Amino acid sequence: MAGIQDTVVFLTAAVIAVPVFRKLGLGALLGYLGAGIVIGPSVIGLIDDVESILHFAEFGVVLLLFIIGLELMPARLWALRRPIFGLGTAQVAISALLIGLASYAVGYGVQTAVVIGLVLALSSTAFAVQTLADRGELRTQHGRAAFSILLFQDLAVIPLLAVLPWIADAPQLAGDGAAETALADTDYLSIGFSIVTVVLIIVIGRKLLRPLLRVVSSTGVQELFTAAALLVVLGMALAMDKIGLSMALGAFLAGVLLADTEYRHRLEADIEPFKGLLLGLFFIAVGMSIDLDNFFDAPLTVLGAAIGLVAIKCATLFALARAIGMRWEPALALAAVLPQGGEFAFVLFGAAINVGAVDRATADFLILVVAISMAMTPFTVQLADAARGRFSKKALAQATVEEMGDPEIQVIIAGFGRFGQMIGRMLNMRRIKFVALDSDHDRIAIARRFGNEGYFGDASRLQILEAAGAGRAKLLIIAVDDPERADSVARVAGMHFPNLKLFARAHDRFHVYRLMELGVDQVVREYFDSSLDMAGRVFRELGVPGRKADQMVKRFKEYDEQLLREQYTIHRDEAEMIRSSKEAAAHLAGLFEHDQEVAEQEAEEEAARAAGDRPRQTAAE
């Protein structure tokens, strides 16, 4: 019962705090932090076991790293190697040096100052990525730079954990060979084993993950695929944890391994709800961990340290961004989103306490500083916006457009059967990029085999459409076989993407009416044009001149399409539809009779002309 009671407390706090903070323009993450502070031991005290909650909530960070990994195909990750290891290394090194020097200047020992510098140089992946995502800035120049830095920081956590024992021992007997002793005591065998294990996990995962998901998805049981997705993420994370590495790194690698598969968007859609809930729980737990007694004991000292941390990292990030050629506006945006301490500070300071590199009181103080620096991030972003807002909106809009990197997908084809494939082939002829969505593996394989983007998933799910880029695409072609599924896709797309043009394949006339009611812009009956084309070929085979056959087909098509539009206004009135259909049938019969009379008259005229020409030809002979 205690577990259910705690869950109710968390949900109630989130439901109340997040809307309030968003209404105030402070963002959802700050709302989670505020909720945690209120229900934590420092205020109301509804929850006491903060450590266990924080440990469990770290799975939110794990799932976040998996989602990030899904966005990075191996080729794209390789393309980002320079900003990751160049800009990322520079940021961590310079920030660690400046923060370490500042810590030493205020009285910390060399050993402690080094640890403080290295740990506080890291920023919050969860906070920064969520902020960029909420603002739609992940694909901007400063968004990509921030992501590269954060990725390097996540990778840097592993060596930092490894060197903490060495840092703890090295300064104690400086001149007495302690550094050499600590270096000699380093377990290189374990390090080598870890590296080999990571390589094996990557190789085996690349061979097994896709077949596993193929087997699971072939069952057609949606919740089983969700369970398999969680198994992949948590299994990879646990494997890394067992060899002493970061669970977040394991989840990230799992995402990268699956990034170029057809299951990418389906996995993202299934994991997203769990990620959002656990990430919110993580920030609530961070808020609960803030000890307000320590804050009120020395509020100026704590605030001063937090402001100093933010100022040092902002200045470092801005200088580095300008040094690599960024304009000052994106450089300022980058500096504003990454000045806080990171969630890995809770892990690293805990490890530092265990090896004696930092004492408990110092770690508690610094964790409070990290939490406050996180709370300050929405304000630094708002200040940066205000500074950038001094320029015209047009200039900012142009800057944003220039920052967009990858070409946008223009068309999404939902349903890649014969109908959708024909459209895809025509788009390929004009080199128009498209994404194919289908729940059939073989169809997706066809799309990907010829260099197109194809993903396994149900296009009637909002998350799948979002992941496929419906918010940026110009056109959605609904080409699924099932009329009810087509209606669902049209309904979801029309409700959530009002700027997206909808073209749809209809099963019959009444399906056309349903799609028109759902706001579909263009509807094509699946057998209508092919039937008319066949009729034209039949006419030609039976001796009707080609031009005349084309006119007959065109006339029938125009008449039927006009009738379709007219009957749309009354299609729900059965009596009116019956009356209208009878009138149309009679009118159509009249048109056929008229066409027949015209054809017979033309035949007689042709015969008369032929008979009149025959004597003249004989006389001439």
In a domain, 357, yes or no: yes
Q: Which two tokens stand for residue 242?
A: 């067992």
One domain, residues 66 and 88: yes
Please compute Rg for the chain using Cα positions: 33
Same domain, 366 and 432: no
User: In which domain, by residue range, is 364 found?
Assistant: 2-174+185-401
The answer to whether residues 374 and 415 belong to one domain is no
Domain termination site, one of 386, 401, 416: 401
Distance, in Å, from the CA atom of 569 to the CA atom of 165, rounded to the nearest integer, reads: 78
Q: What is the DSSP letter of 607?
A: H
Domain check: are 386 and 417 in the same one? no
Q: Do 519 and 459 have their domain in common?
A: yes
pLDDT of amino acid 319: 92
* Residue 532 covered by a domain: no
Q: Which two tokens stand for residue 247?
A: 């669970």
Question: Which one of 383, 401, 419 terminates a domain?
Answer: 401
Judgement on whether residues 452 and 378 belong to the same structural domain of the protein: no
Residue percentage of the chain with pLDDT more than 70 = 79
- Out of 94-98, 217-221, 599-603, pick the least confident: 599-603
Asked if 389 and 415 sit in the same domain, the reply is no
Report if residue 180 sits inside a domain: no
Q: Domain tally for the chain?
A: 3
pLDDT per position as a tens digit, 74-94: 666 666 677 778 888 899 999
Of 160-169, 320-329, 570-579, where does mean pLDDT reach its minimum? 570-579
The answer as to whether 572 is a domain residue is yes
Q: Are residues 548 and 416 in the same domain?
A: no
User: Looking at the structure, do residues 49 and 153 belong to the same domain, yes or no?
Assistant: yes
**What is the average per-residue pLDDT within 186-191?**
56
In a domain, 494, yes or no: yes
Last residue of a domain, one of 499, 526, 553: 526
Helix ranges (DSSP H) in 441-482: 441-449, 462-467
Taking only the tens place, the pLDDT of each residue in 522-563 is 888 877 777 888 888 888 888 878 888 888 788 788 877 777
Q: Report CA torsion sign: 47, 48, 54, 55.
A: negative
Query: Within this chain, do residues 391 and 412 fall inside the same structural domain, yes or no?
Result: no
- pLDDT of 404 > 50? The answer is no
Question: Would the pTM of this model clear 0.75, i.e. be above it?
Answer: no
Location of structure tokens 């799910």: 461
Shared domain for 293 and 415, answered yes or no, is: no
Q: Is 490 within the bounds of a domain?
A: yes
Instruction: Check pLDDT > 70 for residue 408.
Output: no
CATH of the domain at 277: 1.20.1530.20
Task: With respect to residue 127, please indicate whether it lies within any of the assigned structural domains.
Answer: yes
Identify whether the C-beta of residue 441 lies closer than 8 Å to the C-beta of residue 456: yes
Q: What is the CATH number of the domain that holds 475?
A: 3.40.50.720
Are 144 and 217 found together in one domain?
yes
DSSP 8-state code for residue 482: -
Let me know if residue 113 belongs to a domain: yes
Please, which residues bridge with residue 522 across strands? 503
Give the Cα separation of 6 and 238 in Å (integer): 26
**Is 185's pLDDT higher than 80?**
no
Give residue for tokens 């730079």: 145
pLDDT tens readout for residues 238-280: 877 777 666 777 777 788 777 777 777 777 777 777 777 777 7
